[in-house]
Every structure is written in structure tokens, then in C-alpha cells.
Amino acid sequence: MSAPDTIFHRGLFTTLDRSNPIASAVAIKDGVFTAVGHDHDIMQLAGPSTKIIDLKGRRVLPGLIDNHLHIIRGGLNFNMELRWDGVWSLADAMAMLKKQVAITPPPQWVRVVGGFTEHQFAEKRLPTIDELNAAAPDTPVFILHLYDRAMLNAAALRAVGYTKDTPEPPGGEIVRDAKGNPTGLLLAKPNANILYATLAKGPKLPFDYQVNSTRHFMRELNRLGVTGAIDAGGGFQNYPDDYAVIQKLSDEGQLTIRLAYNLFTQKPKGEKQDFLNWTRTSNYKQGTDYFRHNGAGEMLVFSAADFEDFRVPRPDMPPEMEGELEEVVRILAQNKWPWRLHATYDETISRALDVFEKVDQDTPLDGLHWFFDHAETISDQSIDRIAALGGGIAVQHRMAYQGEYFVERYGFGAAEATPPVKKIIDKGVKVSAGTDATRVASYNPWVSLAWLVTGMTVGGLRLTPQRNCLDRETALRMWTENVTWFSNEEGKKGRIQVGQFADLIVPDRDFFSCAESEIADTTSELTLVGGHVVYAAGEFKALDDRVPPPAMPDWSPVRSFGGYGNWVGTDGKAKAIRSQAMQMCGCASACGVHGHDHARAWSGQLPVADLRSFWGALGCACWAV
């Protein structure tokens, strides 16, 4: 056997290979692991040209794979978006917005497009329209909060042309003042189309800028340890037009995320024709190990799409749902295309299962890797029916961002297993984890891992009792090997194992021994995809030779703020204020609620900030530090 291209040694490898769970060294040749074992054995494989990298005892994990990420749409827009993901006070968020307003030229907008919740802010609120107008009297500002509302300042209202004569959108509301004029607040009730239809009115980046933007989004994901993703399509993401950028990057070998994509219909009442056309012109699995077709969804028919806004009552799907869904599912089953279906509520899932079971009677679904997305309120009976049909369930951490709203409507009892991840695992159903980023939640995988392990929202509310939380290894498998079934790539990736793709990460802390309160603040200091370094920082920075050109245009928020957690300062140096404060904490023991992250508790206006998570002032030890 020829010598490996690279050897990594003196590491603490969590391989997730049950026959070889721990290793200290790996050898990589032609993008795959060729040996996984101990230093003494692996180092003997080195040849004269083998690159040898000393990990100095650092923890190494398989690369993370997001089961539901709107990466194609997100990449086209990333350079235009100011991210409030991981920003812990509204004051800081507004300071960022004001700085961005000052450098954004007309007719461009400043847009904050999801990935955050008001509950993450110390102030526990969103900005007011008056505050937005004061911060940006002339520059259009658009802020999307989850999929429940959007806020537009006066300049943005002028830019989109909304007036007292603008009709009310179906399933949504343009909030008006006493004279009938729009105030700038748009509400999903529960249809979010008014929110993203308004966003679609904004300026778009030229093609070359979109290429640059997508590269920067992938690098941001690499910084957080993501090496693969399944793209779930999305509203206003048309195939093949909006796939030209990602196809170009694939053709030129510039993808740093392995991407499987699903096709999402865009035409209410025209869904059947879309899938007839696509099954004639596209082939399931077409593409490469970096960019490949993964079937249909998450939108199959609009009549089966419930909405994930827990601020409003659960929507009932219309009576035509079953007939329209059956037409599409029959096309997919006959062409051996798997599918994914967005479904928040069990009421939607059970009706969809009626259709799937009917189709299965004459066109067996056996072997098709179909699955439901989200499934927050799925019942035991529906889980069993999915198991009987051979399907799967892809969960995402939307409850980490909307848990407070769910509790307000349905109570703490209902939130204890929403979604019931532990039960799904125990029943043996295929299940994996992701984010549903970039709008309804953040793309940060560590927030999802923290939610799976702790059962807490980003606002600090404990939803899930310990009995329903996952241990760290199970949570990690949800983000690695488990995802491969959902893209029909089992055995190719997801573990550090001989023959699998050499996708791995060296996080900046030990996932298995750090405090639970620190999990969400993790980043990667070394990320490999196919044996190539796609991101490196800290002591590995010298290995980083794939840095993309600066973000375009020159006023891009990415240049000033980076992505999650406003991690880049104006001097371009990484910032980690919150994690640094936690590390400098001198107290003898961690708080049971916040760990050593006392800053989150201290920033609250009252010592009862944790009251709604059953702790209250007396239960939170931050106040004794």
C-alpha cells in the first residue's frame, strides 16, 4: 500500500466506530481514512512525502452533518445579512445595526434575516419600530423574527410600496395604525408568505457576488465544524435557476461542504406538474460526493404545509390535502425518488401517513429513504406507523428558539418531549438532527447539540426533563452517522473509520468534558473535508490555505461582524467575549442553571429571570457568586 498523504497523531479521536471507538492517530490517502489506530502503528505508515500533523492531545470528532439546512438559498444572501445569531443583548444588536446602516449605500437594505429569538436578549424583547426609524431614518431595514413577524422601518415600507391601499395578504396581516397606514409590522397568521415575499422585494447580489457569498457561508459553517448538509429547498428557491451558483462551485471544485439537495415545489396547484417535469429531467442521486440529488421536498404540496408559528393556533390542513399529496407521492414512488415532508403537528403527520400507507399498497415504499421533517408534536402511534413503513424522522432545534412560545400556548407538560427524540430513538426509527437554518433558527450546530443534551432554549428556559435528554455520544451520532441514512450515504461518512471520507473536526474544547453551558459556544479550530483543510484557527492557523477572497460587496456585514456571535471585530480579529468571561470566572462551582455563564443571568433586570424555567431567584446560584 502506498504511503498516506497525511497523518494526524497524538489526538483523542472519537471515531463512533463501535468496533474501534477510540484512536490516537489516523492516516489519510486520496480523501479517505486508510488507517485508524494508535500512534505507534500509524506513524510507521509514513513515507517521505507524508505530511504529519501533531494534534497535541486534542479531541477529534467526525465532521458534523446538518440534516436540514437551507444552504443554497442562504449562500446567495449571506453577504447581505447582518446576523444576530448568538448576540445576547438587544443593545449590542442595535449597535451592530447602527454601524451597518452607516456603511450601507442606497438603494441597499440592512437586513437581519432570522436565526435569533427575542428570548436570547437580556432585555427579552425586540426593537420597536420607533427605535428602527431612529437608527435608520433613510436606509431600509428589514428584520425577520423566526417565521412569526417581520419589522420594517419607514424607509423599507417606502421601498416595498406598502400603503393604506395595500390589500391584506392571505393568512397574514399588515398591521396598521388608526388611519389605516402600515406601521411596519408584518405578521404571519400563520402563513409566512407575506414575510418572505416582502424580503424578496429587496435588492439581490450579482452572480459573481453570490458565488463569493456562498463561499463565505460555507466557510462560516466550516468554522463551526459543519462538513456536510442536506439542503431542504425553500420558498423562492427555483430549480435549476437558483442552483447555478452552487453548481458552478461544484464544477470548479470549490465546495467545502458535502451537499445533498432536495427539490422544493414553488407553485400552489402546480406541484404535480413540477414533479412530473423533474422526474423526467433529473435523476435521483445524480452528481458527485460533494453535490448530489437527494429527491423531493420539503414542500411536496402546499395543501400539506402546516406552519411552525407557535404564537398562533395550529392550522388545520384543507380537505384537498390527501388527494393532492397522493398524486405527488405516487409520482415519486413510481420513480423511486425519496422525499421529505415538512410537518410540525401530529394532525398533519397522521393524515400524510394515511396517504403513504395507501400508496404503499400498490407501489411499495420499501427501500425508499423518505422521512418527515420537524415532527414537534408527533404521537406514539405515528412513530409506530412510520417504523412500519420504513420511514424516518428528521428533527431540528426549532424549539430552542420557540420553546417559550410553545409553553405559553400548550404548557410545560406538552413541551417535555417536543419533539420526542428519546422515544423515537428507543422505538428504533431512523432519526437525525439539524437546524432548519437560516431563518427559523441559527445554523450553529452546537446550539442544536446543546439543546439535545440540556433540553434548554437559547433563552435559558428548561423544556426537557433529564429523562428525555440525550447523552453526548447519542447527540453526536444524531449529527454524524445518523444523518447518512437521510441522504442514502450510509457507510460513506459520519464516522472516523477506514474507507470513509476523511471529514473531521478539532473543536476548541472537549465536547465530552466541557460544561454543558459551554457546548453552544464551541467552534472548530481545524476542519477537514475529504482530507483537505477547509478551515483552521488557533495553533492550526498555518494550515489554512483555502481562505476565500474578502466578502463582496465591500460594505458586507460579513466583513465587520462575521457570522454567529458577531465573532469578527472591526480589526478582523476573532472575538469570544462571552466564553472568555466564563473562563475567567473564579467561583468554586458552576450554577445549576447557567454553569459559569453568569453574565447571562446578571444581564437580566431582575433576579427572577429564570422564574419560568422553575428555578427563580433562589434556585439560580449566579446571584450568590
Render pLDDT for 226-253 as a digit per residue (tens, 0 to 9).
999 999 999 888 999 999 999 999 999 9
Fold for 6-62+511-559, please state it. Answer: Urease, subunit C; domain 1 (2.30.40)
Q: Is pLDDT of 587 > 80?
A: no
Q: What is the DSSP letter of 532?
A: E
Question: What is the rounded average pLDDT of the residues 123-149?
Answer: 98
How distant, in Å, are the alpha carbons of 65, 412, 416, 481, 538 from that of 419? 20, 13, 8, 20, 37
Domains of the chain: which residue ranges?
6-62+511-559, 78-201, 591-624
Separation of first and last alpha carbons in the chain:
59
Residue 610 pLDDT level (bands cut at 50, 70, 90): very low
Residue 595 pLDDT level (bands cut at 50, 70, 90): low
Q: Is pLDDT of 593 > 60?
A: no
pLDDT for the residue numbered 581: 40
For the segment 501-539, what is each residue's pLDDT rounded down to a tens digit?
A: 999 999 999 999 999 999 999 999 999 999 999 999 999
The C-alpha atoms of residue 444 and residue 116 are separated, in whole angstroms, by 11
Phi, psi of 600, rounded to the nearest 5 degrees: -65, -40
For the segment 192-224, what is each residue's pLDDT rounded down to a tens digit?
A: 999 999 999 999 999 999 999 999 999 999 999
How distant, in Å, are the alpha carbons of 87, 233, 398, 461, 560 from that of 572? 18, 33, 31, 34, 7
Burial per residue of 149-179, b for 16 or more beta-carbon CB atoms within 10 angstroms, e otherwise: bbbbbbbbbebbebeeeeeebebbebeeeee
Residue type, 503: D
pLDDT, greater one: 552 or 614: 552
Mean pLDDT (the chain) is 92
Question: What is the rounded average pLDDT of the residues 32-45?
Answer: 98
For the segment 65-92, what is each residue's pLDDT rounded down to a tens digit?
A: 999 999 999 999 999 999 999 999 999 9
pLDDT for the residue numbered 621: 58
| C-alpha 554 chain-centroid distance | 26
Phi, psi of 371, rounded to the nearest 5 degrees: -160, 160
The C-alpha atoms of residue 254 and residue 298 are separated, in whole angstroms, by 26
510: closest CA among 56, 66, 65, 85? 56
Strand duo 6-9 + 51-54: pairing: parallel
Task: Give the number of other Cβ atoms within 10 Å of residue 313's Cβ.
Answer: 10
Fold for 78-201, please state it. Answer: Diaminopimelate Epimerase; Chain A, domain 1 (3.10.310)
> Residue 411 has which C-alpha cell?
404548557
Beta partners for residue 528, in sequence order: 504, 533
The C-alpha atoms of residue 183 and residue 177 are separated, in whole angstroms, by 6
Residue 123 pLDDT level (bands cut at 50, 70, 90): very high
Q: Is pLDDT of 570 > 60?
A: no
Question: What is the rounded average pLDDT of the residues 353-371?
Answer: 97
Residue 590 pLDDT level (bands cut at 50, 70, 90): low
pLDDT for the residue numbered 252: 97
How distant, in Å, are the alpha carbons of 284, 303, 338, 342, 484 from that of 300? 16, 9, 11, 8, 22
| C-alpha 8 chain-centroid distance | 29
Residue 600 pLDDT level (bands cut at 50, 70, 90): very low
The C-alpha atoms of residue 343 and residue 27 are separated, in whole angstroms, by 42
Task: Give the number of other Cβ atoms within 10 Å of residue 581's Cβ.
Answer: 15
Q: Is pLDDT of 608 > 70?
A: no
274: closest CA among 233, 317, 320, 318? 233
Query: Could you give the percent of the chain with pLDDT greater than 70?
Result: 91
User: Any idea which residue has 492557523 for its cell?
Assistant: 541
pLDDT for the residue numbered 284: 97
How distant, in Å, are the alpha carbons of 60, 246, 304, 460, 498 from that of 258? 19, 11, 29, 33, 19
DSSP 339-359: BEEEE-SHHHHHHHHHHHHHH
Q: Is pLDDT of 611 > 90?
A: no
The C-alpha atoms of residue 53 and residue 543 are separated, in whole angstroms, by 10
pLDDT for the residue numbered 568: 74
Q: Is pLDDT of 607 > 60?
A: no
Where helices occur in 317-463 by DSSP H, the ranges are 321-334, 346-362, 380-389, 399-410, 412-415, 421-426, 445-454
* 3-class secondary structure, 73: helix
User: Any idea which residue has 406507523 for its cell?
Assistant: 385
The C-alpha atoms of residue 227 and residue 224 are separated, in whole angstroms, by 9
pLDDT for the residue numbered 491: 97
For the segment 94-120, what is each residue's pLDDT rounded down to a tens digit?
A: 999 999 999 999 999 999 999 999 999
Where helices occur in 32-78 by DSSP H, the ranges are 39-43, 71-77
> Residue 598 has which C-alpha cell?
453568569
For the segment 266-293, what is each residue's pLDDT rounded down to a tens digit?
A: 999 999 999 999 999 999 999 999 999 9
Task: Give the number of other Cβ atoms within 10 Å of residue 590's Cβ.
Answer: 20
Task: Please state whether the peptide bond connecting residue 107 to the residue before it is cis, i.e. omega within 30 degrees of 0.
Answer: yes
Residue 619 pLDDT level (bands cut at 50, 70, 90): low
For the segment 372-430, what is each residue's pLDDT rounded down to a tens digit?
A: 999 999 999 999 999 999 999 999 999 999 999 999 999 999 999 999 999 999 999 99
